Structure 1
């Protein structure tokens, strides 16, 4: 399928980017320096799959502190960062939503953050506010270890979407 193959120039350009610039690009994908370093160290990437595999491997190896670094780059669900196009695009499902749903999201977010000590993290792309609220409520009873692994999976999916967008930008 055409979506499986990035423009060779996009992948080649990314793979050939200097270390400092590549680090900045990868930190835009995921704010964990450990993740960015691991993905950068996996160069060169022959194809999209190799880069996505590097993402998954790096994400699987993040420590609890590294996961916190990765989560720090994400806006609270229901409140995209103003002026942040990525945050606003990923949370498009909260635009124009009934204010009572946003109030429920804020309340549920606060309870979640009090319990787990970090923002509720979910791959929001394509999800409605109601769907995110349902997921938040479903995950709230998790213990910390279960939730950390769930967050790790959500971060991996977010990174995949962001990497694919990076590769699909015409050069």
Structure 2
């Protein structure tokens, strides 16, 4: 679904919150952004989204609620689908996706499971334009961190994802 900013501004509170939850599944974030309408432009919306996300990060429960909105990429078949099926990929993502080797895919699946086991939430990263190898490198670099550090890292990545999804929702991406 794509909306204009004008359409978004005039949605009911319930419908606006519902649309926002497709961008980030933190209820407190979505309600805060919906409450702040109307926005004068996309930049004002993104700025308020960033501020609302900063507020949402004050509790771990809000972070975990947002992280739970992402599917876990935890098995080899789903990873192969993600990185090899270029039919649905954007052109700029295709070159890296075509090069995903079975050993990288297997290592990424294992790394995702190791991450979940260690931290209690899935590996969150802004994946747009990244190859399977780049994703694996990022995952392995973050795996030695402590949980508090990873909550911050994942929250930062979540905000990047949310911003892109908001832009797509409003046809600005």
1:51 to 26, 39, 45: 45
1:119 to 103, 106, 122: 122
Structure 1 position 89, deviation (Å): 5.7
- Which stretches of structure 1, 4 residues or more, deviate above 4 A after TM superposition? 92-96
Structure 1 position 71, deviation (Å): 0.6
Residue in structure 2 matched with residue 3 of structure 1 by the alignment: none
Residue in structure 1 matched with residue 162 of structure 2 by the alignment: 159
Residue in structure 2 matched with residue 15 of structure 1 by the alignment: 9
Residue in structure 1 matched with residue 113 of structure 2 by the alignment: 110
Residue in structure 1 matched with residue 69 of structure 2 by the alignment: 73
Where in structure 1 are there 5+ consecutive unaligned residues? 1-8, 83-87
Structure 1 position 147, deviation (Å): 1.0
Q: 1:55 to 1:125 in 2, by over 3 A?
A: same
TM-score, normalised by the number of residues in structure 1: 0.82
Q: 1:89 to 1:52 in 2, by over 3 A?
A: farther
Cα deviation digits, residues 73-105 of structure 1 (max 9, x gap): 11224647x9xxxxx769x67854222211100
Cα deviation digits, residues 109-149 of structure 1 (max 9, x gap): 11111110010000111111111100001111111111111
Q: Distance in 2 between matches of 1:98 and 1:14?
A: 42
